[in-house]
Structure 1
Amino acid sequence: MSMALPTVKGKTKRRLAAKKELVGLSLTHFLNDLMTTGIVPALLPLYKQAFHLNYLQAGVILFVSMITSSVSQPLFGILTDKKPKSWFLPIGICLTGFGLTASGFASAYWILLLLVGLSGIGSGIFHPEAMRGTYMAAGSARGTAQAIFQVGGNFGQAVGPLLLPLFLIATGLRGLGWFTLATVLGFVIVLSILPWYRQSLVRNKARQANIRGRNHPAGLCLLTAVVILRSWTQIGVAGFLPFLYLHQGIALKYGDLLTFLFLAAGAVGTFLGGRLSDIVSRKWLLFVSMAVTIPFAWLLPHVRGIFSIIVLFVFGLFVLSSFAVTVVYGQMMFPKNIGLVSGLMVGFGIGAGGIGATAIGWLSDIYGVYAIFNLFAILPLIAAILTLFLPSERSLLSNGK
């Protein structure tokens, strides 16, 4: 009994430390995504005006931001699966912040693209290690832990558009210099997490060695396709919603507030979906989130006033309610490759939305922004159909025995 008591106390202390560090990872995720997927789509009108761009060139900015992050995340994930690198956390957040801050002072379009790409690479370095930390802090409540971590990132995406009417419209692109403070804050938080993270890596190495079962590449490819379709929907709406409202005669500052509402609803949906995924089937939770999204995606360009606000909120709530779900689901399919899966689900899957943004920009130049919004209902419809062919969780769990 005397030996068991210290052991129990030690485990309790580690659980409390893990919860604290999980909050720290979520806060850092908030800052990282605020400076990439949050602010960059919202900055497109300012970049477009400052550099005299067309819609396609504006879409290329978002493409560069997303594609550098999406390509680098799985690569860094594979690299760190073999040998985790704790110092990637501070390096990643610093590169993210520097790229964004410096983009406000770019003197040419190609320099702007270079800096935005550097910020995307920083995000690609940060995410796999941060999500490994989330995995190690999760215990048995993996959906809830992912929800807490991902909500930080989703709120970062939501707050980005809000910063334009608050001060960036008044200051212009030079106001991005203030994001130096956000970079320093993220660096300080990450430094406080590193001691716990390094200790957890040692314990997790032994746990990973005991994992049995084979990987499920076909299932992971199909799940990645679903995430890409969801990403095209969410990022396409977030990036071009201000242009839609400008087309309807709504001022940019109000359009950005409505974009904030859409993304904030997504953050709420992420948390609720993550909590539910520890109780109900992740496969069917993913299917329902995509299926319910379809009618609200179709309604969005056809409603006005209070109905527009309601539709936008419900749309955002359901389209991202599966965000944490797909991460945990993917980790079940590749249980020994947490970094790779994290890179695919949050990096490649979401970053591929940049490709969709470029296509949307090109089509908007040809057909107009309003016409493009009628297409967004098709993407979650295809995603919902693909979800039906995913392997069940029961089969994945039995495979690991």
Structure 2
Amino acid sequence: MNDSMQAVVPALFTVLEKPLHLNYAQVGWISFALNITSSVLQPAVGLYTDRASKPYLMPFGMAMSLLGMVGIALAPSFWVVLLAVLLIGFGSAIFHPEGSRVVYFAAGNKLGFAQSVYQVGGNVGSSLAPLMTLFVFVPLGQIGALWGTLFAAAAIVVLLAVAPWYKKQLVDWRPPGEDDPAKRIYPDTVLPRKRVAVAMTLLVFIVFGRSWYYSGISNYYQFFLINHYGLSAKQAQIPLFLFLLAGVVGTFFGGVWADRIGMKKIIVLSIAGAVPFSLVLPHLPLVWIYPTIAALGFILMSSFSVAVVYAQHLMPTQVGMASGLTTGLAFGMGAIGAVVLGKAADLFGMTSIMQGIAFLPLIGLLALQLPSDRQRTDIKRMVKYGAKG
């Protein structure tokens, strides 16, 4: 529901352009405002909630998004739209780190599986944008954004039901005499702090590179197909759809496999394993593009949720911060990277950009330097029995 509301914003661009007299620069600022608030602010929110988790913060964030949807539907000008989008972005930034913590508590011994389900929900919500444009916003116009408030209302009802359970988890995991649930007793970490810092830096850089490549394909590969192969705009959507759909499937199975063989192995196999497919993709005959780009999407995105769980593994006392760094900051920077790639395409041509970004998955080889996740005792088990003596 949350990511569906985020998808409403770009889906409304073509609808808002004429009645509000928006130029392309203003459209770009709207997109930038959404990404900078919903993604880049997540680590700050995660840091705050790690210190003082508040179960009812999630429905509050969703209420902000609901107000944002109303604002977009009734906005008379660009500035009101921008303010409404900021509300949606802030609401999303509040929701995601706390949502990841809820998933962490609910996962049991299947952290990869649980996080993959959570991320698949977001990916499916984001994929609704074209359908909403076709069936809601084009027929109804700007006022059709009010339908988005149904997503927010449904999410608030669910979160109000989840909040008491979440509050109980925080209490149950709190050691006797500890007033702040965010200061639950964990082993400090088996790894030295310096090594954790280096590993997190590498992980964020790896996710950053993957996000740049993902943004390049999802935003610009359709133009490459039109220019290089002579496809129509509709025909160019088919390979892109295969890439995105396979990515959703890969996100799910990557989490499942990580529980079995380890998170580091999945990260290495996913990002580095995508290299052969990314390198050949700009040079293939058209008939080979369809299976190749589907395989690329599946492999590349199989580590999407795993990177979040691995970050939580490195920072078990700062689950919100870890989630914000991987799903927020790094992925948000990838969205900003799309702007850079667009400018570069204007200067050097789309073919050169597609051939250039093909090397970005090589960054995944840095994952070989990450510490193994199979050498540590299960944190939850240590907390559960350690807190009780």
TM-score (norm 2): 0.83
- The corresponding residue for 1:224 is 204
1:185-224 paired onto structure 2 within 5 Å: 185-206=154-175, 209-214=184-189, 215=193, 216-224=196-204
Contact kept? 1:42, 1:256, Cα under 8 Å: no
Residue-pair matches, total: 368
State how far apart, in whole Å, the 2-side matches of 1:228 and 1:220 are: 12
Residue identity in the other structure for 1:354: A
Residue identity in the other structure for 2:110: A
- The corresponding residue for 2:68 is 99
Contact kept? 1:161, 1:256, Cα under 8 Å: no
Q: Which structure shows the bigger proportion of residues in helix conformation?
A: 1
List alignment gaps of at least 5 residues for structure 2: 176-180, 383-389
1:70-89 paired onto structure 2 within 5 Å: 70-89=39-58
State how far apart, in whole Å, the 1-side matches of 2:132 and 2:283 are: 27
The C-alpha deviation readout for 1:48-107, integer Å capped at 9, x for no partner, is 7775644x7655443332221223211111111111111221122232344355335544
Distance 1:102 1:367, change over 3 A: farther
Residue identity in the other structure for 1:35: M
Contact kept? 1:34, 1:159, Cα under 8 Å: yes
- The corresponding residue for 2:178 is none
- The corresponding residue for 2:305 is 324
The C-alpha deviation readout for 1:244-268, integer Å capped at 9, x for no partner, is 4565665555655654432222121
State how far apart, in whole Å, the 2-side matches of 1:246 and 1:39 are: 26
The C-alpha deviation readout for 1:2-61, integer Å capped at 9, x for no partner, is xxxxxxxxxxxxxxxxxxxxxxxxxxxxx111222x45455566667775644x765544
Identity %: 36
Distance 1:53 1:331, change over 3 A: same
Asked whether 1:294 is paired with 2:286, we answer no
- The corresponding residue for 1:390 is 370
Q: How many Å apart are 1:112 and its aligned residue?
A: 3.6
Residue identity in the other structure for 1:200: Q
| Mean CA deviation greater in 259-268 or 238-247 | 238-247
State how far apart, in whole Å, the 2-side matches of 1:345 and 1:391 are: 17
Distance 1:243 1:389, change over 3 A: same
Contact kept? 2:279, 2:358, Cα under 8 Å: yes
- The corresponding residue for 1:353 is 334
Distance 1:332 1:116, change over 3 A: same
Distance 1:228 1:172, change over 3 A: farther
Asked whether 1:315 is paired with 2:284, we answer no
1:7-86 paired onto structure 2 within 5 Å: 31-36=1-6, 38-40=7-9, 53-54=23-24, 58-86=27-55
Distance 1:43 1:380, change over 3 A: farther
State how far apart, in whole Å, the 2-side matches of 1:335 and 1:211 are: 7
- The corresponding residue for 1:10 is none
Residue identity in the other structure for 1:149: Y
Contact kept? 2:73, 2:145, Cα under 8 Å: yes
State how far apart, in whole Å, the 2-side matches of 1:287 and 1:57 are: 39
State how far apart, in whole Å, the 1-side matches of 2:306 and 2:131 are: 27
- In the TM superposition, structure 1's runs of 4+ consecutive aligned residues that sit over 6 Å from their partners are 47-50, 398-401
Contact kept? 1:233, 1:379, Cα under 8 Å: yes
Secondary structure (helix, strand or coil) at the match of 1:175 reads helix
The C-alpha deviation readout for 1:207-246, integer Å capped at 9, x for no partner, is 9733113341111111111111111222332233454456
Residue identity in the other structure for 1:209: R
Residue identity in the other structure for 1:353: G
| Mean CA deviation greater in 273-282 or 173-182 | 173-182
Distance 1:61 1:256, change over 3 A: farther
State how far apart, in whole Å, the 2-side matches of 1:103 and 1:174 are: 8
